[in-house]
Amino acid sequence: MKKIFSLLVVLFVASYAFTANAQLRFGLKGGVNISTVHFSDVRENWNPNNVTGFHIGPMIEATVPLLGLGFDAALLYTQKGMEPQGVEIGDTKIGDDAIKIDYIDVPIHLRWKIDLPLIKPYLATGPYFGFRLSKDKVWSVLEDQIKAKTFGMGWDFGAGVELFNHLQVGFNYGLGLTDNYKLGKKEGGKNRGWMISAAIMF
């Protein structure tokens, strides 16, 4: 947690200094999540499928004119999870119902935008921080064995385009860096998945 706090402080100070010479815009972002969970402790019949959710929330963007360098940050209500597809642990079969966990995600991305007349392509990458909102018990049949953790973080890789200076359409892949689930006394299970987004900038 100390390392995470230090990273947040550095990012805050850097963004404050950066925005002094940058153009600042606000917007509303939303879209679709296609996510699953990767378990490092692979077990027999443990192969969860993707599950579809959504995300929505406000965002902010700062860009240095001419250079196209900048950053964006957002506060997103988002759903992530997996579809077990008959997963078995020991003699217990979990079932096929999709599992969705609600989070508040805070992505902070470095961004490079190419300033073309009508269409502005961009690349983005950076960390995200996730805070669980829904209950921690994932499967009632295994409520004492598998639980969702309160906090997690990962790294995003994304790209997209901006149209007519106001509409942004993009996608990113989120790679979980910390465990989002706890299996008994063991840590395990990192969120991974794609986000397809549209944003209106003001």
Q: Three-state secondary structure along the chain? A: CHHHHHHHHHHHHHHHHHHCCCEEEEEEEEEEEEEEEECCCCCCCCCCECEEEEEEEEEEEEECCCCCEEEEEECEEEEEEEECCCCEECCEECCCCCEEEEEEEEEEEEEEECCCCCEEEEEEEEEEEEEECCCCECCHHHCCCEEECCEEEEEEEEEEEEECCCEEEEEEEEEECCCCEEECCEEECEEEEEEEEEEEEC
What is the per-residue pLDDT for 52? 94
pTM comes to: 0.82
Q: Are strands 99-113 and 119-132 parallel, antiparallel or unpaired?
A: antiparallel
**Residue 10 clears pLDDT 60, i.e. is over it:** no
**Cα 114 to Cα 148: distance, rounded to the nearest angstrom:** 40
What is the per-residue pLDDT for 67? 83
Give the pair of three-digit tokens for residue 150.
């309160």
Q: How sure is the predictor about 194, in pLDDT bands with cuts at 50, 70 and 90?
A: very high
Q: Which domains does the chain have, with CATH numbers?
A: 2-201 (2.40.160.20)
What is the per-residue pLDDT for 49? 82
Burial of 72 (0-12, 13-18, 19+ CB in 10 A): buried
Q: Mean pLDDT lowest for which of 6-15, 53-62, 170-179? A: 6-15
What is the per-residue pLDDT for 27? 97
Type of residue at 150: T
Instruction: Write out pLDDT tens, residues 91-149.
Output: 656 556 678 899 999 999 999 999 888 899 999 999 999 999 987 666 555 555 677 88
**Residue 200 clears pLDDT 60, i.e. is over it:** yes
Select the more confidently predicted residue: 46 or 158.
158
Kindly give, in sequence order, each residue whose CB lies less than 8 Å from that of residue 147, ignoring residues fewer than 6 positions away. Answer: 136, 137, 138, 181, 182
What is the per-residue pLDDT for 22? 76
Instruction: Write out pLDDT tens, residues 60-86.
Output: 999 988 788 999 999 999 999 888 765
Select the more confidently predicted residue: 182 or 178.
178
**Mean pLDDT along residues 149-160:** 96
What is the per-residue pLDDT for 89? 58
Select the more confidently predicted residue: 156 or 118.
156
**Cα 98 to Cα 115: distance, rounded to the nearest angstrom:** 42
Type of residue at 149: K
User: Cβ of 185: how many Cβ atoms within 10 Å?
Assistant: 6
